[in-house]
Structure 1
Amino acid sequence: MRTGLYPGTFDPITLGHVDIIRRAAVLVDRLVIGVAINRDKGPMFSLEERVAMIEAECEALSRETGTEIVAHPFENLLIDCAKEVGAQVIVRGLRAVADFEYEYQMVGMNRALDASVETVFLMADAQHQAIASKLVKEIARLGGDVSKFVTPSVRQALVDRVR
């Protein structure tokens, strides 16, 4: 069984994330969405809320692709999380050249820690390249319409949170 790990904070999950999940799901038999517990970032949504959003958004994708998709919180090294969930591959989404420069460094470090885990990059679809959770949260905080960037249920969660 090929298992992939797609890590991130997912605060909140965006259409860009969903696009990467959909495309990664056809490459593996099981896709683990690693939900980073990153206390330094001060997430808008709790870990439980982020996991619930991911599970809700991925339920239909799992049926559509025939791939098991599960959310898995983690607070350890990414490479250790990959080992923990049995992932042979780490999936990373790229939006721009700046993403690649950071990810290139991360791949080098991860390969030094465990060369048996491969990293694959999926380019964000053109319509999703500008989407960043940080910007989506800022737009929501300032009363803007985020419906182009997130699903209706995530949009509602954002609206409720910023009230």
Structure 2
Amino acid sequence: MTNPPTGRLFRVGEKHDLVLTRTFRAHAEDVWASVTESERTARWFGRWEGEAAPGRTIKIQMAYEEEQPWMEARVEACEPPMRLAVSTTDVNGVWRMEFLLSEVDGVTELKFVHHLQTVEGVGDIGPGWEYYLDMLVASRAGTPLPEFDSYYPSMKPHFEGLVEGLAEG
């Protein structure tokens, strides 16, 4: 059974942030390694190659997408073990994302933030991020990886409702 969606949408000036969280019984350094070390990102998202440093571009192979395509990601900020900011560019434009980690008493919260240019398509984007973050959870726990069909289209109404809630608020 897939967990319920965690995604929330916040207005930030003229733009919006899509925020999803996961909690781990682990130190921030260990969770950080899961989102920054190629052999560990390969378990839930895809392996990467290149020199990862602020201002540098790396190549990531999307291991769980059809045909396992490569994409480029620019490292905008890297502040171990608390903040990683990256951006990618594709046919839909620029995608700006951050991983923000905070630890209290050996429990780390990972906050994933997708800085949206527009809320158009959030119903399609949000379920994908839920899927990938649950892939991270499963890869760390050594449990079976989830199936994307458990996320999309069933979670689409949740994310579309977030947009509607902004319009009403």
So what's the TM-score if we normalise by structure 1?
0.28
So what's the TM-score if we normalise by structure 2?
0.27
